[in-house]
């Protein structure tokens, strides 16, 4: 195996137990205690403090399966507060961005930065600077992994997390082949970025156990059995960079809005309310990226875990006569799709709307059999409807999501999601600002 020296250097900075850390910033009493944050509907565990991990709370487990452990160890359980986490993320990314001219925001809690131009600087010390500033200015603890490819940086980051002696920063960018090889041999292949459950199992069957095994594997064989994606991963482990930094945020190619219900429903009226609200949320995202939607899908789901109940998972595809970003027209289209696939007698647990064909507003196409004066998009042809959308977005941004909504969204919302242990929106609503006490 030959590791190729690369001109590129990536640092991956990510928040430790990010959602839990966000909660701790505003409630220091959570410090040192086992804490978990749940998914929407209070369904699964999606974030765990180190103390909760130590108690064997798995990532993604349904909360009812660990109820006993939670009770026994007095684990603090919180509903997820995405408004808070999104805002904390923005602050954290802003600080990290000060450390390099080129930054990729990879996820809500992870950011790659380009350190290639930093020459002879001590990158470990630089990583520590990043950690300290984020901790001081935002309150979030982080770890930093530095290497010549993104895949190696991910692994270095994991190393920094796992082994306290590194004090939160691992710099692999200047290692010799032999040193790197040794480090890779200590990680299971399944821990490598891009290797999931399925592929991990298949690799094991082939005798590829460690990250080092994967790096040394025959590239043509990997390609023929798994495809080009895994081949690239193996190259990256060898130090050949295949994934560059993606500095600009690409427009979404699809926009999904869906939720499980707080309780099952059989009523068309409930589904109409939900579909209306989901469509409006998706339309807001669409307008934010100045797009118009040409095709959407509406889907329904019964509870697949209840194998004794009749199952029904229909999808309706609706083509718009003219691409649009108008919530009213999109909702009308979505509701017509819903009407096509709704069947009585099923117990529905989830509904969703997906915009699958999204175009930039600059692409205009006149309606073939429509009112040719009616605008396809609010962004290019301002009329009263467009002004209404703009006003709605503004009100909902300032006063909170859903303040202004369509009547078909309903107000009863018997199906609405469960969030029984939600903390306040500390940073984004005046009335929920934390209060300092003397």
Partner DNA sequence: TCTGGGGTCCTAGGACCC
Catalytic residues: 110
Look at the block and give the residue holding tokens 């010390």.
Answer: 125
Interaction of residue 97 with DNA, rule CB under 7 A: no
Tokens of 132: 């300290």
Q: Which of 16, 27, 33, 39 binds DNA (CB under 7 A)?
A: 39
* Least Cβ distance, residue 258 to DNA (angstroms): 4
36: CB partners within 8 A, 6+ apart:
20, 45, 47, 48, 49, 52, 57, 63, 70, 75, 76, 77, 78
Tokens of 375: 């605008």
Interaction of residue 89 with DNA, rule CB under 7 A: no
C-alpha span between 22 and 81 (Å, rounded): 9
Q: Which of 11, 30, 35, 44 binds DNA (CB under 7 A)?
A: 44
Q: What one-character-per-residue DSSP string does 317-345 give? A: EEEEEEEE--HHHHHHHHHHHHHHH--TT
Interaction of residue 259 with DNA, rule CB under 7 A: yes
Nearer to DNA, 193 or 342 (CB): 193
* 62: DSSP letter: B
C-alpha span between 230 and 157 (Å, rounded): 20
Binding part of the chain for DNA, among 207-215, 302-310, 366-374, 404-412 by CB under 7 A, reads 302-310
For the chain, the distance separating the N- and C-terminal CA atoms, rounded to the nearest angstrom, is 63
How many positions of this chain bind DNA (CB under 7 A)?
47
* Least Cβ distance, residue 36 to DNA (angstroms): 13
Q: Check the CA dihedral 317-318-324-326 and report its sign.
A: negative
Element (DSSP H or E) covering residue 399: helix 384-399
Nearer to DNA, 69 or 381 (CB): 69
Q: Which of 97, 141, 200, 314 binds DNA (CB under 7 A)?
A: 200
Look at the block and give the residue holding tokens 């966000």.
Answer: 22
One character per residue 346-365, x = contact with DNA (rule: CB under 7 A): ---xx-x-------------
Question: Which residues ranging from 416 to 435 are in contact with DNA (CB under 7 A)?
Answer: 417
Question: Which residues ranging from 262 to 301 are in contact with DNA (CB under 7 A)?
Answer: 264, 281, 285
Nearer to DNA, 102 or 288 (CB): 288
* Least Cβ distance, residue 381 to DNA (angstroms): 25
41 touches 62 (CB < 8 A): no
Interaction of residue 62 with DNA, rule CB under 7 A: yes
One character per residue 122-161, x = contact with DNA (rule: CB under 7 A): --------------------------------x-------
160 touches 187 (CB < 8 A): no
Interaction of residue 260 with DNA, rule CB under 7 A: yes
One character per residue 224-243, x = contact with DNA (rule: CB under 7 A): ---xxx--------------
* Least Cβ distance, residue 387 to DNA (angstroms): 25
Question: Which residues ranging from 391 to 420 are in contact with DNA (CB under 7 A)?
Answer: 417
Look at the block and give the residue holding tokens 């339309």.
Answer: 283
Interaction of residue 256 with DNA, rule CB under 7 A: yes
**Strand segments (E) across 303-409:** 315-324, 348-360
C-alpha span between 95 and 388 (Å, rounded): 36
Q: Would you tell me which residues interact with DNA (CB under 7 A)?
A: 39-41, 43-44, 46, 60, 62, 64, 67, 106-110, 154, 193-200, 227-229, 250, 252-260, 264, 281, 285, 303, 305-306, 349-350, 352, 417
């Amino acid at each position: 195996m030959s590791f190729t020296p690369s001109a590129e250097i990536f640092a991956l900075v990510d928040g430790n137990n990010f959602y839990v850390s966000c909660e701790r910033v505003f409630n220091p009493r959570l410090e040192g205690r086992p804490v978990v944050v749940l998914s929407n509907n209070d369904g699964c565990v999606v974030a765990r403090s180190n103390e909760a991990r130590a108690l064997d709370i798995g990532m993604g487990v349904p909360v009812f399966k660990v109820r006993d452990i939670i009770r026994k160890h007095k684990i603090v359980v919180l509903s997820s507060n995405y408004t808070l986490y999104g805002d904390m993320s923005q602050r954290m990314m802003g600080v990290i961005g000060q450390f390099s001219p080129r930054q990729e925001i990879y996820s809500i809690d992870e950011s790659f930065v380009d350190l290639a131009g930093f020459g002879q600087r001590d990158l470990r010390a630089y990583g520590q600077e990043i950690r300290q500033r984020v901790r001081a200015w935002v309150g979030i603890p982080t770890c930093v992994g530095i290497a010549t490819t993104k895949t190696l940086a991910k692994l270095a980051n994991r190393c920094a997390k796992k082994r306290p002696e590194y004090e939160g920063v691992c710099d692999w960018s200047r290692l010799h082949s032999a040193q790197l090889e040794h480090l890779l041999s200590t990680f299971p292949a399944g821990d490598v970025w891009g290797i999931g459950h399925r592929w991990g199992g298949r690799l094991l069957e082939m005798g590829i156990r460690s990250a080092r095994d994967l790096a040394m594997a025959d590239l043509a064989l990997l390609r023929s059995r798994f495809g080009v994606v895994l081949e690239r991963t193996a190259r990256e482990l060898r130090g050949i960079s295949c994934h560059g930094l993606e500095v600009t945020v690409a427009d979404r190619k699809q926009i999904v809005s869906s939720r499980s219900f707080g309780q099952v429903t059989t009523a068309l009226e409930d589904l109409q309310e939900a579909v209306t609200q989901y469509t409006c949320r998706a339309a807001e995202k669409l307008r934010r990226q100045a797009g118009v939607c040409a095709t959407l899908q509406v889907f329904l789901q019964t509870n697949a875990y209840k194998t004794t109940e009749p199952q029904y998972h229909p999808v309706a595809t609706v083509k718009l006569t003219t691409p649009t970003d108008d919530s009213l027209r999109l909702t009308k289209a979505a509701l017509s799709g819903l009407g096509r696939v709704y069947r009585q007698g099923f117990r529905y647990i989830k509904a969703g709307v997906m915009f699958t064909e999204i175009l930039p507003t600059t692409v205009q196409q006149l309606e073939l059999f429509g009112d040719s004066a009616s605008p396809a998009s609010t962004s290019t042809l301002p009329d009263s409807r467009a002004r209404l959308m703009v006003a709605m977005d503004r009100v909902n941004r300032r006063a909170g999501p859903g303040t202004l909504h369509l009547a078909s969204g309903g107000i009863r919302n018997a199906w609405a999601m469960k969030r029984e242990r939600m903390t306040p929106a500390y940073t984004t609503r005046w009335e929920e600002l934390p209060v300092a006490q003397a």
